[in-house]
Chain A
Amino acid sequence: MKYAEILHRCFRCGYCKLPGNYIDFNCPAYAAFRFETYSPGGRMWLLRAWQNQEIQPSKRFQEILFSCTACGNCVEQCALPKIKDQLLLAFTAGKEELVVSGRVPPAVRDCLTQWQKYGNPYGLARKKRTDWTAGTDVQPFSDQEYLFFPGDVGAFDSRGQEIARSVVSLLKDLGLSFGILGNQEVSDGNEANAMGEQDLFCLLAQENIAHFKKLNVKKIITLSPHGFNALKNDYPALGGVYEVFHYSQIVAAHMAKLSHRHSCPDVRVTIHDPCYLGRHNGEYQSIRNILTVLPGVEIREMDRTLQNALCCGGGGGNLYTDILGHAPESPTRDRVIEAQNTGADILAVTCPTCAIMLGEAVKSLNMDRRLQVLEISEIINSRIEPRYHHLPDE
Chain B
Amino acid sequence: MQDILKLLADIVGPQFVSDSPEEKLIYAMDPGTMPPCEPDIVVMPGSTEEVQKIVQTANTHAVPVVPLGAGLVLSGLSRPLKGGIVLDMKRMNQILEINEISRYALVEAGTSQGMLQAYLQKHFPNLKHSAPDAPPAATVAGNVSIHGSGHLSHAGGFHSDMLNGLEVVLPTGELVRIGSCATSPYWFARAPLPDLSGLFLGWAGTTGVITKLAIKLYPSYPLNDVGVFVCEDASLMPDILYRITGAQMAEDVTAWMTPKPDWAASFLHCNVNYGARTPKELLWKRNLIRASVEKYINEKTGGFLPLPSMMKNRFLEVPARQLSLFADVRKGGGFEYVGAIMPVELFPQAYDLGLDVSDSVGVNYSMGCRIIGVNHCMMFFYAYAFNRADPRDVDRAQAALEKTNRQVVDMGGIPWKAEAPAQKEIIRKMDPNMFALMGRLRSTLDPNGIMNPGNWEEG
**Direct chain A–B contact by Cβ atoms under 8 Å:** yes
Q: Is B119 an interface residue (CB 8 A)?
A: yes
Are B136 and A34 in contact, CB atoms less than 8 angstroms apart? Answer: no
Given contacts A11-B31, A22-B114, A34-B90, contact A55 B25 (CB under 8 A): yes
Q: Would B333 and A11 count as touching, CB distance under 8 A?
A: yes
Q: Is the CB of B26 within 8 A of A18?
A: no
Within 8 A of A (CB), among B91-121: 91, 112-115, 117-119, 121
A389 within 8 A of B: no
B112-148 interface code vs A (CB 8 A; 1 in, 0 out): 1111011101100000000000011110000000000
B122 touches A54 (CB 8 A): no
Minimum Cβ distance to chain A for residue B396 (Å)? 16
Say whether B327 contacts A22, CB under 8 Å: no
Least CB distance, B435 to chain A, in whole angstroms:
33
CB within 8 A of B44: which of A18, A24, A35, A56?
A35
0/1 per residue, A4-35, Cβ < 8 Å to B?
A: 00001111111101100111100000000111
Binds B, one of A76-84, A109-117, A241-249: A76-84
With CB as the reference atom, state the residue of chain B lying closest to A46. B22
- Name which of A57-65, A158-166, A258-266 contacts chain B: A57-65
Q: Does A49 contact B (CB under 8 A)?
A: yes
A161 CB to closest chain B CB, in angstroms?
34
Interface flag for B387 (CB, 8 Å): yes
Convert A342-372 into 0s and 1s, putting 1 for each residue whose CB lies closer than 8 angstroms to a CB of B. Answer: 0000000000000000000000000000000
Q: How many of B's residues come within 8 Å of A, CB to CB?
A: 48
**Cβ of A123 < 8 Å from any Cβ of B?**
no
Least Cβ–Cβ distance between A390 and chain B, in angstroms: 42
Q: Which residues of B contact A325 (CB under 8 A)?
A: none
Q: List chain B residues, Cβ under 8 A from A15.
A: 135-137, 321, 324
Size bracket, chain A contacts? 35 or more
Whether a CB of chain B sits under 8 angstroms from the CB of A36 is yes
CB–CB A328/B16 < 8 A? yes
Any B CB within 8 A of the CB of A327: yes
A23 to B111, CA, bound (A): 11
| In the complex, A122 has a CB within 8 A of chain B | no
Question: Would A83 and B25 be within 8 Å (CB), given that A8-B333, A11-B334 are in contact?
Answer: no
Q: Which residue of chain A lies nearest to B86 when distances are taken between CB atoms in the complex? A: A36
The residues of A that contact B335 with a CB separation of less than 8 Å are 11
Within 8 Å of chain A (Cβ to Cβ): is B23?
yes
B25 close to A45 (CB less than 8 A): yes
Say if the beta carbon of B193 comes within 8 Å of chain A: no
In the complex, which residue of chain A has the Cβ closest to the Cβ of B335?
A11
Contact status B118-A14, CB under 8 Å: no
**By the criterion CB–CB under 8 Å, are B328 and A56 in contact?**
no
A37 in contact with B26 given A8-B389, A23-B119, A303-B122 (CB within 8 Å): yes
A9 touching B331, Cβ below 8 Å: yes
Residue in contact with A22 in the complex, picked from B30, B71, B117, CB distance below 8 Å? B117
Chain B residue nearest to A12 (CB atoms) is: B31
Q: When the two chains form their complex, are residues A13 and B72 in contact, meaning their CB atoms are under 8 A apart?
A: yes
Decide if A82 touches B387 in the complex (CB within 8 Å): no
Q: B72 near A9 (CB under 8 angstroms)?
A: no
Q: How far is the CA of A37 from the CA of B90 in the complex (A)?
A: 13
* B21 and A56 contacting across the interface, CB-CB below 8 Å: yes
Complex CA gap A58/B71 in Å reads 25
Whether, in the assembled complex, B15 has its beta carbon less than 8 Å from a beta carbon of chain A, the answer is yes
Task: Say if the beta carbon of B27 comes within 8 Å of chain A.
Answer: yes
Is there an interface contact between B21 and A42, defined as CB atoms closer than 8 Å?
Answer: no
Chain A residue, CB-CB nearest to B118: A23
Most chain A Cβ neighbours within 10 Å, of B21, B26, B331, B388: B26
B22 engages A17 (CB within 8 Å):
no
Q: How far is the CA of A6 from the CA of B345 in the complex (A)?
A: 42
- With a CB–CB cut-off of 8 A, which chain B residues contact A12? 30-31, 71, 333
When the two chains form their complex, are residues B325 and A58 in contact, meaning their CB atoms are under 8 A apart?
Answer: no
On whether the beta carbons of A79 and B324 are closer than 8 Å, the reply is yes
Interchain CB contact under 8 A, A46 and B333:
no
Check B122 against A55 for contact (C-beta < 8 Å).
no
- What's the minimum C-beta distance from A24 to chain B, rounded to whole angstroms? 6
Does the CB pair A82–B328 fall under 8 Å? yes
Output the nearest chain B residue to A22 by Cβ-Cβ distance: B114
- How distant is the Cα of A8 from the Cα of B327 in the complex, in angstroms? 11
Question: Does A42 lie within 8 Å of B26, measured CB to CB?
Answer: yes
Whether the pair A22, B328 counts as a contact (CB closer than 8 A) is no
**Bound CA span A13–B117, Å:** 17
- Given A8-B332, A8-B389, A35-B42, are A58 and B26 also a contact pair (CB < 8 Å)? no
Contact assessment for B115 and A22 in the assembled complex, using a CB-CB cutoff below 8 Å:
yes
Q: Does B18 contact A (CB under 8 A)?
A: yes
List the B residue with the shortest CB-CB distance to A17.
B137
Contacts of A81 in B (CB 8 A): 325
Residues of B within 8 A of A34 (CB): 16, 44, 88, 90-91
Known: A14-B70, A46-B25, A79-B325. 19 other contacts (CB 8 A): A8-B387, A11-B335, A14-B135, A15-B137, A17-B137, A21-B118, A22-B118, A23-B114, A24-B118, A35-B23, A35-B26, A36-B23, A60-B22, A79-B324, A80-B324, A81-B325, A82-B331, A83-B328, A327-B15
4 closest Cβ pairs, A-B complex: A22-B114, A14-B137, A79-B324, A11-B327
A sample of 10 inter-chain contacts (CB < 8 A) reads: A8-B388, A14-B72, A14-B135, A15-B135, A18-B112, A22-B117, A54-B25, A55-B22, A56-B21, A327-B15
